[in-house]
Amino acid sequence: MPQPYQTLPFHHLESGAGYFRPQQQLPEVVTEDNPATSVMTDLSQVTAYTTELDTPLAKALEIMVKRGVRMLLVRNTDGQIVGLLTSRDIEGDKPNRILAKAGGTWEDLLVADIMTLQPKLEVLLMEDVSQARVGDIIATLRQVNRQHAMVLDTDPQTGKPAVRGLFSLSQIGLQLGLDIDRSHHPTTYSDLEKARVSQ
């Protein structure tokens, strides 16, 4: 005969309690020969940081600083990726060029004014990444002089393409155990090389 179900006691929520967030455990140290996926932020395991077209640029920068990221996916109201905003976009001369042309102040700028639009975004395919090594990703980012790369996969729920993962050169540098000055934006491949030589 089955045991009767037991009720569980309720307790008061302690003040200062936080909440769990999905977290991917990336290995702390890797080598260039490790699988590329060992340095990829996998959005099927961690929350993607996103923003919207009409978000003020100052607010988007605040999100980046608060979350400790240098890139935000820009989505529309249907949750589709319409662009990408990086710290390089914000810290570069693009905002000043736009203000010089259109007038206004920095506070007037929106994400839509600065972001890279979806038609200009290039992505890596998960099928290629799953066969690649960390060194291949570094060589790829070096070739195009980029700090970040997005990885596209097919969403098993919808059967449609979706951004599955992200690569960050500064994150890869940290995992390679290279001493990279985080205050120096952006981390370039030559920074990785200099850090390796100085070890």
Q: Domain limits at 138?
A: 36-197
Report the C-alpha gap between 180 and 196 in whole angstroms. 10
Give me the phi and psi of 84, to 5 degrees please.
Answer: -140, 135
Q: Total structural domains in the chain? A: 1
For the chain of 199 residues, list the mean pLDDT of each consecutive stretch of 10: 80 77 79 94 92 95 90 92 91 88 89 93 95 93 88 92 92 81 52 57
**Residue 102, class by beta-carbon neighbours within 10 Å (0-12 exposed, 13-18 middle, 19+ buried)?**
exposed
CATH for 168: 3.10.580.10
Q: Answer whether 74's CB lies under 8 Å from 84's CB.
A: yes
Q: What is the dihedral of CA 12, 17, 23, 28, to 10 degrees?
A: -130
Q: Answer whether 57's CB lies under 8 Å from 113's CB.
A: yes
**Residue 15 covered by a domain:** no
